[in-house]
Amino acid sequence: MEPNEESPAEEEQIESEEAVEGEENVSLAAPSVITEEMNEVSELDVEDSKLEGEPGEEIVEEAPIQVSEVKTKEEKEREREKKEKLVPYVEAALFLAGRPISELELAEHLGSDRLTVRWALRRIKRQLQEQNSALEILNPTKDRWVLQLCEEFSRGLYDYIEQFIPKEAMLSREEIDTLTEIAYRQPITSALLVKIVGRPTIYDNIRSLHEKGFIILEKQERTNLLRTSAKFADIYGFDTKMRNLKIQLVWRLKKRAKLDKKPM
């Protein structure tokens, strides 16, 4: 065997030592390589999160500055006091009007707004109910309100309060029916009214109502044109404007029809 030549056993030992040494070198080098790769991945994740809005880095956007509209306690108290002061004025207006009146009309005359007026109306309505008052507030149409006698009193007390009704307003049943027809259909000719009512005493009723000042006669060819007078509107609490008067009359007739259907 030559001096420089190594035996097979020695060659195997050297190869095994080199293999072990190589594994140690790999194991020692691996952490640095992995760390570099992880750093590269984390940097990519951060960049992606910035683009996609994910929680890699907080993205601060400038929000528009908003002024707080929350009312203070003092402001709320002043607003409520203002509403409370309006309540008696709304009630007085309804009482003096004696007819359905709109929220807008009340607001204009009282120098307020529609929402505040509506709040006052509902407050009055609740107060009357809590007091078991003989009066009540109703809204017969969408935004109109009226102060009137409660239904349970309007029928039972009629005979008692009849003595307080003006004598000129005391009409017979036929006269009331004739006056109602004229008020609803005005202006109407007496000839057409006779055809509608079909009662022989209709001319007597027309003459009586004219003498008492409830209707106005206007000569028209061979007949008379009939209209209700300002006295009629004043005594019975109607609006002097014909259109409003008819609306109020229809509402009262419907209300009366409901009362007549109720058992005493």
pLDDT tens digits for 43-64? 545 444 444 444 444 444 454 5
Task: Give 151's DSSP letter.
Answer: H
Per-residue model confidence as pLDDT tens digits over 110-133: 999 999 999 999 999 999 999 888
Model confidence, pTM: 0.41
Distance CA 59, CA 122 (A): 51
Work out the burial of residue 65: count CB atoms within 10 Å of its CB; fewer than 13 is exposed, 13-18 middle, 19 or more buried: exposed
Average pLDDT over residues 62-70: 55
| Average confidence score pLDDT of the chain | 72
In this predicted structure, the answer to whether residue 196 has a pLDDT above a threshold of 70 is yes
Average pLDDT over residues 171-181: 82
**Element at 155 (helix H, strand E):** helix 151-156
User: 160 falls in which pLDDT band (50, 70, 90)?
Assistant: low
In this predicted structure, the answer to whether residue 39 has a pLDDT above a threshold of 60 is no
Per-residue model confidence as pLDDT tens digits over 21-35: 444 444 444 444 444
Average pLDDT over residues 245-263: 64
167 versus 92: the higher-pLDDT residue is: 92
Query: What is the CB-side half-sphere exposure of residue 132 using CA atoms within 13 A?
Result: 0
**Element at 116 (helix H, strand E):** helix 114-130
Where do the domains of the chain lie, and which CATH numbers do they carry? 77-154 (1.10.10.10), 166-261 (1.10.10.10)
Average pLDDT over residues 11-26: 49
Distance CA 163, CA 170 (A): 10
Sheet holding 144-149, edge to edge: 101-102, 144-149, 135-141
User: 13 falls in which pLDDT band (50, 70, 90)?
Assistant: low
φ and ψ of 218, to 5 deg: -125, 120
Average pLDDT over residues 173-189: 84
Average pLDDT over residues 199-203: 82
170 versus 31: the higher-pLDDT residue is: 170
Cβ partners under 8 Å of residue 220, min gap 6? 189
